[in-house]
Every structure is written in structure tokens, then in C-alpha cells.
Amino acid sequence: MKTRNLLLILTVALFFSGCVIWSFYPLYTEKNLFENDILTGTWIDGDSLQWKFEHPERGNPKSIDKKSYELHLTDYDKKKTTYNVHVIQLNGMYFLDFYISEIAGASSSDSDSNLNYWNLHVIPVHTFAKLTVTDNTLQINWFDGEWLREQIEVKKIKIRHEKNSESLLLTAKTADLQKLVVKYANTEAAFKDGLAITLVRN
């Protein structure tokens, strides 16, 4: 899937299109998380857009949480969208869990009078991607949501979900989600029409 305005496409694709798999539950539990700096820093994609990963501060007193990341995506108009991102290692492979936390132009402190159409119709969900790290490059491949829908419809994959004519949302718990991504991590068809991004360290 080729991208132009990546921030807009990611925000829409991750939560409204069939390019990715949506899940009510995350791909990780606390025991799956580990301290790392795999993503730390600023990266540039093929459209010269900036991806900044940094560890958030948590607790009181504040301390750096090296088991999680905040991803700040900056578009051409310098607007930012923030995601919570976690790295998970399963069967020797890296996976990413994305969860939107702040949309460009919106604020968690918005009053009712400031809520717009976009705010009212976005329900944050988790999306999953396979991560491949080589030198100063990150290859991120999201699982293809349409592929999963087809596999479920022909009963090749059985996993808890809800769907309508337009959308499919996984409702399976984390353990079942992990089995799914590990089983199909090396299946080309599972990523064929999914979102794919290559990031180079800036």
C-alpha cells in the first residue's frame, strides 16, 4: 500500500479501513514487555515524514518507562498525532502494538463544545505489525485486515470477533492474538495488501 500523506492515511487506515487488523485487546501483557531502545529516536519514511519514538515519563516521582514508547507522527503541516507503541518479542520475532492516544488537532481536554465530527467517531483500537530491524532501518508490516476477514469467512481461521458489512473487530484475548500473529508471521498473503512502511534513522 503506497502512502503519500502518511499521517492522514495512518490515522484513517489504522482505524477505518481494511488495510489492518483491529483488536479490542492488546497484543501484549505486562509480562511480555521488556526494556529496550529498539525504536528510540527520529526516523524518516519514504515520503520524508518524521516518526519520533520516545520513552514516556510515568509515576510519581517521574521515571522513564523503557518498556513502552510514544510515537509522534508529524505531517507536512507540522500537525502531530500520538500513538502508544509497545514492542513484543514472540518466538524470536518482533511485533508492534499501536494504540492511538491523541489525534492531530484534538485534545483530551476538549470540552463538549469543542468536540467535532472526527472526535465523536473515533474509537481507539489496537493494531498489530511485524517489525524487522536491520542496521539503521525499521521495516513495519501491518497484518492485512481483508486477508483475515477472508480466512474467517471460509473458516480457515477461527478466532473471536465481531463484524458487520464494513468492519471486523477482533475480540479475542491476548493469548489467542499472540498465537495468530506467530502462526502467520511468515505467511506472505497475511501482509500482501496490508500497510507497509520503511523507516530510516534520521
- Condensed to tens digits (0 to 9), the pLDDT of residues 94-134 reads 999 999 876 555 444 444 444 455 455 566 789 999 999 99
CA distance linking residue 35 with residue 26, whole number of Å: 18
Nearest-CA neighbor of 196 among 11, 46, 69, 54? Answer: 46
Of the chain, the percentage scoring pLDDT greater than 90 comes to 60
Q: How many structural domains comprise the chain?
A: 1
Q: What is the DSSP letter of 14?
A: H
Place of cell 483530551: 108
pLDDT interval class at 61 (50, 70, 90): confident
Question: Of residues 177 and 50, which shows the higher confidence score?
Answer: 177
Query: What pLDDT, on the 0 to 100 scale, is given for residue 75?
Result: 72
Query: What pLDDT, on the 0 to 100 scale, is given for residue 103?
Result: 53
Nearest-CA neighbor of 87 among 137, 41, 145, 26? Answer: 26
Q: Are 168 and 149 within 8 A, CB to CB?
A: yes
Indicate the average pLDDT of the chain: 84
CA distance linking residue 117 with residue 147, whole number of Å: 30
- Condensed to tens digits (0 to 9), the pLDDT of residues 33-51 reads 999 999 999 999 988 888 9
pLDDT interval class at 73 (50, 70, 90): confident
pTM: 0.84
pLDDT at 181 over 70: yes
Quick check: is 52 in a domain? Answer: yes
The residue segments making up the domain with residue 128 are 6-201
Quick check: is 1 in a domain? Answer: no
Quick check: is 16 in a domain? Answer: yes
CA distance linking residue 79 with residue 73, whole number of Å: 8
Question: Of residues 58 and 165, which shows the higher confidence score?
Answer: 58
61 cis-preceded (ω within 30 degrees of 0)? yes
Beta-carbon count within 10 A of 143 CB? 23
Place of cell 479490542: 24
**Could you tell me which residues are beta bridge partners of residue 81?**
73
Q: Are 93 and 143 within 8 A, CB to CB?
A: no
